[in-house]
Amino acid sequence: MLPVERQQKISDILAENGIVLVSRLAEQFGVSELTIRRDLDQMEGNRLLKRTHGGAKILRNMNAEPDYLQKAAKFADEKRHIALRAAELIEDNDIVMVNSGTTASAVLRAIIESGRTVTIITNNVDVFNYPDVEGKCTIIMTGGVYRPRSRSLSGSLATSHLEGMFANKAFIGVDGISEDAGLTTPIYEESVVSGMMVKHTSGKVYVITTHNKIGVTSNYRIARLDDVHGIITDKEGAEYFRTDSNLKAEILEA
């Protein structure tokens, strides 16, 4: 395979996954890691990607809110496993903040179905789709203006209610996560609500994300990575963080 053909395939993989690792690409293409590094260096010179210690990430900004149903269908199995891993961290009598988004919705379902006695504070209206058949969950909605595009509540009503609420765990979904920008989202109202959830959590804050969000920077910051205690992600995301970052947060593979 010619280098230009290999680099085009690497670009295709990046477009789908957002990140690549040298070791995996070398195995996939049957070439040396040195060859892959040369490919990535050349592609970085052409502004096609950004090199990292063990691989590369796509140069991508998310300036517009993606369609909710399309998001829900993408990486559905990974989100379900992330949700189940998050639910394993729940203990009886926890008070938990969960924000909006498709991964957060999966986490809400897993927590409710876990059978734990827990209080959930959320702005995610998908919580009503998961009946608490055992009656062990107390659901507190933030209130606020309903945003059908994200199936969430936001605005001053949401934040004013959160001012008087505190949790001992939080699970925060994101549209982008990077070491430079931190946790980001394309919608200002969402960033304010999610950011307040982070600030009003006295215990551990967990980011819940599939690998395609890594390296993405969106318009508005939710929180810095220093505010995060753990990142719950899929296999590819966990491998990337362990290989290519200096994060202090615990990496939890789902």
CATH number of the structural domain spanning residue 24: 1.10.10.10
Q: Both 148 and 72 in a single domain?
A: yes
Q: Both 120 and 83 in a single domain?
A: yes
Residue 47: the pLDDT is 76
Q: Both 199 and 182 in a single domain?
A: yes
Segments forming the whole domain that contains residue 135: 68-253
Q: Both 129 and 40 in a single domain?
A: no
Q: Are 156 and 86 in contact (CB under 8 A)?
A: no
Residue with tokens 């605005």: 155
Residue that terminates a domain, selected from 59, 81, 103: 59
Phi-psi region of 19 (alpha: psi -120 to 50; beta: other; left: phi over 0): beta
* Residues in Cβ contact with 119 at an 8 Å cutoff, skipping those fewer than 6 apart: 94, 95, 96, 137, 138, 140
The encoded tokens of residue 241 equal: 């963080």
Q: Both 55 and 136 in a single domain?
A: no
186: domain CATH number is 3.40.50.1360
Q: Are 187 and 193 in contact (CB under 8 A)?
A: no
Q: What is the distance between the terminal CA atoms of the chain, rounded to a whole angstrom?
A: 35
Q: Both 134 and 232 in a single domain?
A: yes
Q: Both 151 and 243 in a single domain?
A: yes
Residue 45: the pLDDT is 84
Q: Angle 22-29/3-17 helices, nearest 10 degrees?
A: 130
Q: Quickly count: other Cβ atoms within 10 Å of residue 174's Cβ.
A: 27
| pLDDT tens per residue across span 7-66 | 888 988 887 777 888 888 999 999 998 999 899 988 888 777 888 778 887 776 666 677
Q: What is the pLDDT along the chain (254 residues), one digit of tens a residue?
A: 888 888 888 988 887 777 888 888 999 999 998 999 899 988 888 777 888 778 887 776 666 677 777 777 789 999 999 999 999 999 999 999 999 999 999 999 999 999 999 999 999 999 999 988 788 999 999 999 999 989 999 999 999 999 999 999 999 999 999 888 899 999 999 999 999 999 999 999 999 999 989 888 888 999 999 999 999 999 989 988 887 677 889 999 99
Q: Both 156 and 75 in a single domain?
A: yes
pTM score, two decimals? 0.81
Best CA proximity match to 12, nearest among 53, 62, 48: 48
Q: Both 131 and 7 in a single domain?
A: no
Q: How many domains does the chain have?
A: 2
Q: Both 145 and 242 in a single domain?
A: yes
Best CA proximity match to 207, nearest among 248, 246, 148: 248
Q: Quickly count: other Cβ atoms within 10 Å of residue 164's Cβ.
A: 7
Residue 72: the pLDDT is 77
Residue that terminates a domain, selected from 59, 78, 105: 59
